[in-house]
Chain A
Amino acid sequence: MSARRIPWVLIVFLVIVWIPWLGSRYYTFLATDIVILALFATSLNLLLGSTGLVSFGHAAYFGIGAYACAILTKTHGLPFLAGLAAAPLAAASFAAFFGFFCVRLTRIYFAMLTLAFAQIVWAICLKWNSVTGGEQGMPSVPYPDMDWMAALPLLGALRVGEKYYLVVLVVVALCFALLHMIVHSPFGRMLTVIRENRERAQFIGIDVRRYELAAFVLAGAFAGVAGALFGIFNRGVFPDLAYWSKSAEVLIMTLLGGMGHFWGPAIGAATLLFLHQLITAYTQFWPFILGTILIVLLFVFPGGIVGAIHAFWTRFRKRGPRA
């Protein structure tokens, strides 16, 4: 059975890598947005789906990554790679500090403390004018140096946004590979044990807090990478990147796709952003639509898209032989 499995991930990657050659700026724009936020949502799922921790402040690490990269590349003129490396480091350090306190709490209190820390980050971004640009944020974060691509076949004719899409795709693909490894490693299994039964995990001698903190730091680091990529894509970083409604948005993406599956959050991010583009073309009342989708989701498809497909598929297969 497993030998005949279709390599979906590889197929999807090979298809979306050609998006810039469709020649539409709009498609490349949407694809870049989706790829970055898919990474953001998947990083959250390391907490939500794998460990069972509800963080209501994940946007903080997205914002920290974005600001770290923007400050290094724009204010200090360092190359993109330095910014990209600094983003997860900065996000992970903050996550380690905040997480140290957060994992001491459980359930609703954990969610409230992550929210409080995220709001502190937001307040700092909003008020520390000399470093973060305050309310105005930091516009026009520079693109990475992509002149070397001109020498390569096929790539030379691409516009800067399209080249950047390829950079994003490579970075995100690497991150996904790492995340996949983490989730399926013995460490990842341990997180699942904690999610399934925290007390029992403690009972058999697992240092639950330490594992939770490690998951928190890793999730923060990957959110930081996503933030760094987003700041450049967005042509600027703003305090709103760390605001609590952003944290809620990424929670919705994760839930929409299905937090029970590794690729669920990515599918959720793609679906949500696609719907957003589609619906805002007709009406400005997108939040109303989003709220309605969310309510339907919570009541009818609590497992998200992947969960729904899975349930449909198992029912279909059960019926199959009889028909």
Chain B
Amino acid sequence: MTDPSFLFGQFVSGLTTAMFLFLIASGLSLIFGVLRVLNFAHGSFYMVGAYSAWQMVQWLGPRTESFWLAVLGAACAVALMGVAIERLLLRHLYGREELYQLLFTYAVVLVLGDFAKYTWGTQQLSVPRPPSLEGAVQLFGVQIPYYSLFIMLLGPLIALGFWLVLSRTSAGRMIRAAALDREMLTALGANTGWIYAGMFAVGSFFAGLGGALVTPVRAIVPGMDVEIIVEAFIVVVIGGLGSLWGTLLGALIFGQVLAFGILVFPGFSIFAAFGLMAAVLILRPWGLLGKPLK
């Protein structure tokens, strides 16, 4: 049980889970931060990203470097879909109560879930790893696939990229302003409608990217949308809705709780994750690194 290489293995697996979840949850958190909409459909975007990546790999030929093209294509397709949904429907609900927005995004979950079943069927699909990342490295007696290493590096890089854009560019300044006071920004002449659309596109892009990148590791099945959205909710709530670094922290905590929870109380690790979510909401509703809503 206390075999160090085993513990290290659990740690690494928790870290990989965390980074995948961060990819998805960061979009969810950013959308909430600016639009104040809790997007249930985010998991569906992730699922559509996975299926689109599979479809494009089929077109481009599996086991080649065109995998990366497929991943990028899938993420862009999901981003386009997100913008269409936001511009055509969701934006008309901004002034309304949260319940309407929540149920609208839930309606999108239902529609996209059946759309995926109709288009790609119900059997499990999978995508092989790209040739450049096949194989594994041996570290402290643990086999770590190159692909997992890549994901573990990509997560922090994306967090850093987000942070640079948000804090150092004029577009980032606009986004932060939109999150703080939409009316004021509109009064100053900025086109907040397109800022919202852009944020939704970026958030959807990362949901799609997460879905596409997960295909070599996990099976693509119907129901993956509902499963991931609950996990992403846990992550953003722990870290703080709307907080980027909070989401990263939340993902890291969630990954480790899941990986080590299995050792402490087998079978109940998901219970521990929900318990953690409830505890954070009770003690600090705005999350570990978030700010209280006005």
CB-CB < 8 A to A112: which residues of B?
A: 38, 233, 237, 277, 281
Partner of B102, one of A54, A104, A123: A54
B83 CB–A CB distance under 8 Å: no
A116 to B270, CA, bound (A): 11
Partner of A127, one of B97, B113, B271: B271
B268 CB–A CB distance under 8 Å: yes
Quote the shortest CB–CB distance from B231 to chain A (angstroms): 11
CB-CB < 8 A to A104: which residues of B?
A: 282
Interface of A is mostly: helix
How many residues belonging to B are interface residues under a CB distance threshold of 8 Å? Answer: 42
Give 1 or 0 for each of A33-46: 1 = CB within 8 Å of chain B CB: 00000000000000
Partner of A292, one of B98, B111, B278, B285: B111
Within 8 A of B (CB), among A274-316: 285, 287-288, 290-292, 294-295, 298-299, 302
Given contacts A108-B38, A244-B230, A287-B113, contact A116 B277 (CB under 8 A): yes
Within 8 A of A (CB), among B81-103: 89, 92-93, 96-100, 102-103
State the total of A-B contacts with C-beta under 8 angstroms: 108
B47 CB–A CB distance under 8 Å: no
Given contacts A285-B118, A288-B115, contact A117 B103 (CB under 8 A): no
CB-CB < 8 A to A287: which residues of B?
A: 110-111, 113-114
CB-CB < 8 A to B241: which residues of A?
A: 108
Which among A54, A298, A299 has the greatest number of chain B C-beta atoms within 10 A?
A298
B226 CB–A CB distance under 8 Å: yes
B104 CB–A CB distance under 8 Å: yes
B109 CB–A CB distance under 8 Å: yes
- CB distance A298 to B93 under 8 Å? yes
- CB distance A113 to B98 under 8 Å? no
A13 CB–B CB distance under 8 Å: no
Which among B108, B111, B237, B268 has the greatest number of chain A C-beta atoms within 10 A?
B111
Residue of B nearest to A107 (CB): B98
Given contacts A245-B226, A298-B107, contact A113 B271 (CB under 8 A): no
A255 CB–B CB distance under 8 Å: yes
- CB distance B237 to A116 under 8 Å? yes
- CB distance B99 to A288 under 8 Å? no
What are some 21 contacts across the A-B interface (CB < 8 A)? A54-B99, A101-B278, A104-B282, A109-B281, A112-B277, A113-B281, A113-B285, A120-B274, A127-B267, A251-B103, A288-B115, A288-B118, A290-B107, A291-B106, A291-B110, A292-B111, A295-B107, A298-B93, A298-B103, A298-B104, A299-B89
Known: A111-B102, A127-B270, A292-B111. 11 other contacts (CB 8 A): A54-B98, A56-B102, A107-B98, A109-B285, A116-B281, A287-B110, A287-B111, A288-B115, A290-B107, A291-B114, A298-B100
